[in-house]
Chains A and B, each alone.
Chain A
């Protein structure tokens, strides 16, 4: 069964610090992996997409990495800001991932404290 596991479930860090969120998946065959940011009371918004051939991709202070061999991805946030407080959802697209081809992780809830 296709699965996407995210860790940690929740994380609290001080403003200005860096953090890394993890995503492990078993979706096969793999098409792409996307990270979404979901602010409280809002819908998820796409941050970045990783395809099989990509190892690293940045979007401002967000940097995603992908190791397709070990089926692991990470999202690194640099110099965190209060506005980074949100849930971060890892979503993997593959041919076996349900009617929409997607398998969603449960998310990491990140809190940035001043």
Chain B
């Protein structure tokens, strides 16, 4: 049981280049999320999905696009990378979204992206 797997682990891009970050989960979770983590800041939500074929904007969506063609996969795209997008990106999944109870987020181990 791998949980949440992110690829690649590291990537260096030049300004203006594009790339796709891959996230796969094997827990049959409905909900998936992309966060970015920057020094001195809490995790910030970029985009999320509440099910296959659905996506929605989070707190900091500009410059990113996402797709959820299959329930187990959630892709994050950067069409034209900028130095401000240098960050560590985390994918997460959970059983429920706004449930009052107990579903924790299960995180991948991150992709460290540097844009020069």
A residues near B, CB below 8 A? 4, 31-32, 34, 41-46, 49, 51, 89, 95, 98-107
Asked if A89 meets B105 with Cβ closer than 8 Å, knowing A43-B4, A98-B58, the reply is: no
Instruction: Please give the distance in Å from B54's CB to the nearest CB on chain A.
Output: 13
- Which residues 28-61 in B have Cβ within 8 Å of A in the complex? 33, 40-45, 48, 56-59
Chain B residue total in the interface (Cβ 8 A): 26
Contact B105 A44 (CB under 8 A): yes
Partner of B108, one of A43, A100, A101: A43
B92 contacts partner chain A, Cβ-Cβ < 8 Å: yes
Between-chain CB contacts (< 8 Å), 12 pairs: A4-B42, A32-B100, A32-B101, A44-B105, A99-B45, A99-B56, A99-B58, A99-B59, A100-B58, A101-B97, A102-B45, A106-B41
B residues near A, CB below 8 A? 4, 33, 40-45, 48, 56-59, 90, 92, 97-98, 100-102, 104-105, 107-110
- Chain A residues, CB < 8 A from B104: 34, 46, 49
Instruction: Please give the distance in Å from B3's CB to the nearest CB on chain A.
Output: 9
Partner of A98, one of B4, B45, B101: B45
Contact B42 A44 (CB under 8 A): no
CA distance A98 to B60 in the complex (A): 11
Besides the contacts A32-B100, A99-B45, A100-B48, what 13 more A-B pairs have beta carbons closer than 8 Å?
A32-B102, A34-B104, A41-B110, A46-B105, A51-B102, A89-B42, A99-B48, A101-B97, A103-B42, A104-B43, A104-B44, A106-B40, A107-B42
- Chain B residues, CB < 8 A from A105: 42
- Chain B residues, CB < 8 A from A49: 102, 104
CA distance A42 to B97 in the complex (A): 23
Contact B42 A100 (CB under 8 A): no
Q: A4: nearest residue on chain B (CB-CB)?
A: B42
- Chain A residues, CB < 8 A from B92: 43
Contact A43 B42 (CB under 8 A): no
CA distance A41 to B112 in the complex (A): 9
